[in-house]
Amino acid sequence: MTPEEVLRFASENGTKMVDLKFVDVPGIWQHFSVPIRELEEETFVEGKAFDGSSVKGFQTINESDMLLIPDPTTAVMDPFTAIPTLSLICNVAHPGPAGRKKPYSRDPRYIARKAEEYLRSTGIADTSYFGPEAEFFIFDNVLYNSTANIQYAEIDSDEAHWNSASNGKPNLGHRMRVKEGYFPVAPNDTLMDIRSEMALVLEELGVLVEAQHHEVGGPGQAEIDIRFNSLLKTADNMMFYKYVVKNTARKHGKTVTFMPKPVFGDNGSGMHVHQSLWKNEKPLFYDGEGYAGLSQLARYYIGGLLTHAPALLGIVASTTNSYKRLVPGFEAPVNLVFSKGNRSAAVRIPLTDCPSAKRVEFRPPDPTANPYLAFPAMLMAGLDGIRRGIEPSDHGYGPVDRDLYHLSVEEQREIRSVPSTLDAVLDALEDDHAFLLEGGVFTTDLLEHYIDLKRSQVDEVRLRPTPIEFELYYDA
């Protein structure tokens, strides 16, 4: 939509308020709202002022004046507000005269926009498509506390196996056993209608849904797969995805988490990311004669992903909790190899003979990642592989078509794994980030602030005793 069309759309829907959304460096939507009379065509040029010093990863207090510039193409009616509210995703800018406002270098959405521009400038392709498969848990209750004398977390799901003997209300059985949530029907699956409602709300917002289902994790794990789209559009769609999923659950008295590993002993939540390059509306990753139907260009792209995987994980698996999921020896994609149809590899090639559907799937990411940083980082790694001609088979990255979870000890030693802590991947990102700086897509300033923010989270976790430490050491 154009600004004029947005104003007409708002009027047709009886809009009373306008909600201006933007994303912080960790990847959380922030917002404020204004009455509809405050939205004019000039607003899409002049923007609205806000305090950037109170936003994680943004400005200091002495340089806090910032602007939100609404993107008219993102206009939708908010499906959760009682008062008719128009929602607009915004870009962040520095104040200045008309035509001289500068995009804010630490605005993650600006990084995504620059990544698309850089791709076109290379001549390699003009479009990058991304299709994330984000998983999450729907819980009935969550309690947690972390103070000087309390370290405590408790979650509950009526579907969970641990409630098989609960006696607080009539117990009807039919609960999900550990790692058996994929794909039982009702009455075991109690969440189908909620997932369907989430999917339909997404569709109303223009986020196309391909499927929804219960996931492997017994206590309420779910997945809703959205249709692939261009990099920036998919990042926007992922923000809507989280917003819709969380608020639909809350409407039903439930709570959603995208934490990668909220439940000990059951499956974690990942975000497998399908990606491909196109030029002049033609797919570039297909070659019917190549391994798994892959073109040489696609192999080089994979070489970039796997070569830079340790650094990438600092952005695409960006929490300490991520490494409770990415653990060698379990069903986690920690093996730095590629393979056709093999979910135990870091890069999986989906089995399809359709040229337009040929893509690569990078499996280590999880949905705590900021999509405006994660998708550009993966694109930049892949492009670096193409630019340098990194053939993955020349660097020990496969292909490997066996079950990587059941290799001998000797065979396992031949396969590299991703680092096992957030600290380690942040070290890797500090050592290996030149590929992200190509074309000015990422900046040193943004990466330094991002790493500092993430290291502060590492320290927050490292300094606190955990309940299991009491279990292990209290009587030492």
Q: What are phi and psi of 341, to 5 degrees?
A: 65, 15
- CATH for the 127-138+200-213+220-473 domain, from 3.40.50.2300, 3.30.590.10, 3.20.20.220, 3.40.50.1110: 3.30.590.10
**Nearest in space to 239 (alpha carbons), one of 468, 11, 23:** 23
Model pLDDT, residue 206: 97
Residue 351 CA to residue 288 CA, distance in Å, equals 12
For residues 207, 213, 214, 215, the Cα torsion angle rounded to the nearest 10 degrees is -80
Amino acid at 448: E
Q: Are strands 335-340 and 17-23 parallel, antiparallel or unpaired?
A: unpaired
Residues identified as active-site: 51, 133, 135, 215, 223, 272, 343, 361, 363
Residue 408 has pLDDT above 90, yes or no: no
**Nearest in space to 108 (alpha carbons), one of 91, 96, 94, 124:** 91
The whole-angstrom distance between residue 208's C-alpha and the CA centroid of its chain comes to 17
Q: What are phi and psi of 471, to 5 degrees?
A: -60, -40
Of the pLDDT bands very low, low, confident and very high (cuts 50, 70, 90), residue 193 is very high
Domain ranges in the chain are 3-104, 127-138+200-213+220-473
| CB atoms near residue 241 (< 10 Å) | 24
Residue 406 has pLDDT above 90, yes or no: no
Residue 341 has pLDDT above 80, yes or no: no
| Token couple for 373 | 């940083």
For residues 397, 401, 404, 409, the Cα torsion angle rounded to the nearest 10 degrees is -80
Residue 439 CA to residue 437 CA, distance in Å, equals 6
Residue 85 has pLDDT above 70, yes or no: yes
Residue 155 CA to residue 145 CA, distance in Å, equals 12
| Residue carrying the six token digits 């912080």 | 24
Model pLDDT, residue 8: 98
436: alpha, beta or left? (left if phi > 0; alpha if psi -120 to 50): alpha
pLDDT tens column, 243-293: 999 999 999 999 999 999 999 988 899 999 999 999 999 999 999 999 999
Report, as an integer, the average pLDDT of 202-222. Answer: 94
Model pLDDT, residue 151: 93
pLDDT tens column, 344-395: 899 999 989 999 999 999 999 999 999 999 999 999 999 999 999 999 999 9
| Token couple for 384 | 């670096």
Distances (CA, A) of 258 to 290, 319, 339: 37, 11, 27
User: Strand, coil or helix: what is 349?
Assistant: strand
The answer to whether residues 260 and 325 touch, using CB atoms and an 8 Å cutoff, is: yes
Model pLDDT, residue 275: 98
Q: Which CATH class is domain 3-104?
A: alpha beta
Instruction: Supply the pTM of this predicted model.
Output: 0.95
Model pLDDT, residue 180: 64
Please, what is the Cα angle at 267 between 262 and 273, to 5 degrees?
95
pLDDT tens column, 423-469: 999 999 999 999 999 999 999 999 999 999 999 999 999 999 999 99
Residue 396 CA to residue 399 CA, distance in Å, equals 9
Q: Which has more pLDDT, 218 or 59?
A: 218
Across 191-205, 324-338, 413-427, 439-453, least confident range = 324-338
Q: 226 Cβ partners below 8 Å, 6+ apart? A: 131, 132, 202, 207, 208, 209, 210, 234, 237, 238, 241
